Structure formats: C-alpha cells, structure tokens
C-alpha cells in the first residue's frame, strides 16, 4: 500500500511539477490582440522600433528611437541681412515715398527707343483720356414780391485730368421784363493740385445796354471740409477791375436729401456809374436750397434766395428809385449730364 502511494506522488510531481512553480507564459503570437493578451491566451509582440509611438512608449510597450542629430547649419555664425521695409511696413513719418520701380522689362529685348511709342500709347489710353460734363447748378423759378423771375447758372467742360476747356454761363431776369443780366465765360482750366484748378480766359456780358468784354483769371476747387469755392478777377475792355467770390456746401441729411447753403460776393475796384456799380462791395447773394436726388443726375429743389446791393451800389440804386434787396422763394432743378 505504501508503495502505491509513493508511486502516485511521483507521477503527480512529474505531471504537474512542484506545487509552487507557475505555468510558463503562452508564446508570443503575431495576431495577438489586446483582449486575448488580457485573458492570458497569448502575448502581444512588441512593436517595431520604427512603429513605436509616443502613446505606446508612455505605456512601456516600446522605446522610441533617439532623434537624429541636427545637420550643421552652413550659415551658422553669419548674420542674415534684414529685408528692406516696403509697403505698409515703412516707418511712420513724413519722408518721401520710395521711387516706384521702372517697368522696363521689354527694353531688355527690344530697347528703350523701340518701346517709347508703345508706352506713350499706353499712357494716352489709360491715363490721358478725354471726358466731358455739363452741370446745371441752378435752373429756378423765383417767386418774389412785386415781380416773379428766373435764374440760371451752368458750367460745361471738356478735357482730361489736367487740361480742360470750360464754358460758364449765368444770368437772371423777370417775367415780362426780359433778361436783366447774362454772361458767358470761355476759359482754359489747368489743375494745379489734386483739388484746385487755375482758370483764365474771356467773359462777355449780354445785359441790356451794358454789353462788355473782360479778361478773366481765377481759381476754383474743393477746399478742406468739402467746401466748393471759386474766386475770379475780371478786367473789362475799359480798364475796370472787378472780383467775385463764391462758395457752397452740400450737407447730406440722407443719401438723397441734401441741404445746400450758397453765397456769392461781387466787388469793384472803382465806381462805374454807367453800370450802376459803386466802388467796394457791390452786392451779396445768399441762398439755402433743399434738393432731393431722384437719381444722381436729376434733383429738384426748393429754397430761399436773398439778394442785396451794398455800399455805394446801394446808394446809386436808391437814387434811381430801385429796391436794394429782394427775397425770393425758389423752385428749380439741379442736373448734370
């Protein structure tokens, strides 16, 4: 009996090994997944060094290969030049702008002399165009006490950005009494800066019994804060010198509704009794007109106009039994083509 028990114990030891020995781990399998490895069915193969990621390295599954040493910089020790400032990177100040680079690439193949005609044609087509405009600033009916009347002021020009031919006309009169005053000007206009034009030419008056010719020189343009201004000197064929100052301002109430105050002063360097004009300030004309631009080229308006003779001219008018001032309600249209 004892022999049988000893034999059984020896057989068990040979089959299962010592009681304290752990079973060997299963072999690594290429297709082993994380789930099978957790159940002890297989052992996951460690990833190749090239496939090792930062996540696997953090979990201890693999070791990331060391980063290669950076290549030596051939420019080490040599300071790179800073790029030249250009465009909006220029420093703040009042220094003149840098010159524009010449567009002379075609000269390398054809020569500058051969390209001169082509450049002149290009400037003429794109920068030297000819344009025209007809502006009717005033075309109105004046309702006033005693006698209703009318008034006009218009200007047309033809030319380019620098040189233009300008024609101006203005006048007024009363219904049933003919034209009281009318004039026309033929002027050469040249731009002296982006906002002002210098003008010179001739003026002709067509008033009843007072037709006269003048040489004229003046300036007109857009002053700061968008004031339209005009100043002119007139030298008559009899040696009389006159001056005129005028200005207007467009106050936009809406995009189409515009209130325009307007002023004009006439002065004389000497008395001209035949024209009923005294020396100094001869007359003042003030107006306030509210227009509505149905379209930009067509704007009916309504307003008030006040005209007064001043100084020695007013005394001559009183001596002749004429009124020195008049206030009118005006209805008209402003248009341009």
**Rounded Cα gap, residues 282 and 279, in angstroms:** 7
In sequence order, which residues have a C-beta less than 8 Å from that of residue 206 and are 6 or more positions away? Answer: 171, 179, 182, 183, 184
- For residue 165, the model assigns a pLDDT of 98
| Pair 230, 214: CB distance under 8 Å | no
Among the listed residues 218, 203, 214, 261, the one whose alpha carbon sits nearest the alpha carbon of residue 237 = 214
Residue 259 domain-assigned (yes or no) = yes
| Pair 135, 336: CB distance under 8 Å | yes
Among the listed residues 271, 192, 198, the one whose alpha carbon sits nearest the alpha carbon of residue 233 = 198
**Rounded Cα gap, residues 19 and 9, in angstroms:** 12
Residue 214 domain-assigned (yes or no) = yes
Length, in residues, of the chain:
337
| Pair 185, 216: CB distance under 8 Å | yes
For the domain that residue 187 is a member of, what is the CATH number? 2.40.160.40
| Pair 266, 242: CB distance under 8 Å | yes
Mean pLDDT by 10 residues, the chain (337 residues): 49 47 54 69 61 68 66 58 66 79 84 88 78 96 90 96 96 88 96 96 85 95 96 96 97 97 97 91 97 97 97 93 93 97
Residue 193 domain-assigned (yes or no) = yes
What's the number of domains the chain is made of?
1
Residue 70 domain-assigned (yes or no) = no
Residue 279 domain-assigned (yes or no) = yes
Residue 71 domain-assigned (yes or no) = no
DSSP assignment letter at 224: T
The phi, psi pair for 124, rounded to 5°, reads -65, -40
Q: What is the span of the domain harbouring residue 330?
A: 148-336
The phi, psi pair for 49, rounded to 5°, reads -55, -35
| Pair 223, 211: CB distance under 8 Å | no
């Amino acid at each position: 009996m004892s022999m049988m028990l000893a034999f059984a114990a020896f057989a068990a030891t040979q089959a299962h090994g010592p009681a304290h020995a752990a079973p060997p781990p299963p072999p690594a399998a290429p297709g082993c997944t994380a789930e099978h490895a957790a159940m002890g069915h297989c052992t996951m193969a460690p990833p190749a060094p090239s496939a090792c990621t930062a996540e696997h390295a953090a979990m201890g599954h693999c070791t990331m290969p060391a980063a290669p040493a950076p290549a030596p910089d051939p420019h080490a020790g040599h300071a790179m030049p800073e790029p030249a400032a250009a465009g909006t990177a220029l420093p703040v100040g009042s220094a003149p702008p840098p010159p524009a680079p010449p567009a002379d690439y075609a000269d390398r193949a054809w020569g500058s002399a051969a390209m001169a005609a082509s450049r002149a044609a290009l400037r003429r087509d794109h920068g030297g165009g000819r344009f025209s405009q007809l502006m009717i600033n005033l075309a109105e009916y004046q309702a006033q006490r005693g006698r209703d009347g009318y008034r006009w002021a218009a200007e047309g020009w033809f030319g380019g950005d620098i040189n233009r031919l300008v024609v101006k006309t203005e006048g007024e009169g009363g219904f049933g009494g003919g034209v009281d005053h009318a004039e026309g000007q033929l002027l050469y206009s040249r731009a002296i800066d982006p906002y002002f034009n210098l003008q010179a030419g001739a003026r002709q008056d067509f008033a009843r019994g007072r037709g006269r010719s003048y040489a004229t020189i003046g300036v007109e343009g857009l002053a700061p804060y968008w004031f339209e201004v005009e100043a002119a000197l007139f030298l008559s064929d009899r040696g009389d010198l006159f001056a005129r100052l005028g200005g207007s301002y467009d106050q936009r109430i809406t995009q189409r509704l515009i209130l325009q105050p307007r002023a004009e002063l006439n002065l004389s360097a000497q008395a001209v009794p035949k024209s009923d004009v005294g020396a100094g300030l001869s007359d003042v004309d003030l107006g306030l007109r509210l227009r509505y631009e149905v379209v930009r080229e067509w704007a009916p308006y309504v307003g008030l106009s006040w005209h007064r003779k001043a100084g020695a001219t007013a005394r001559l008018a009183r001596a002749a039994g004429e009124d020195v001032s008049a206030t009118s309600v005006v209805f008209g249209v402003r248009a341009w083509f």
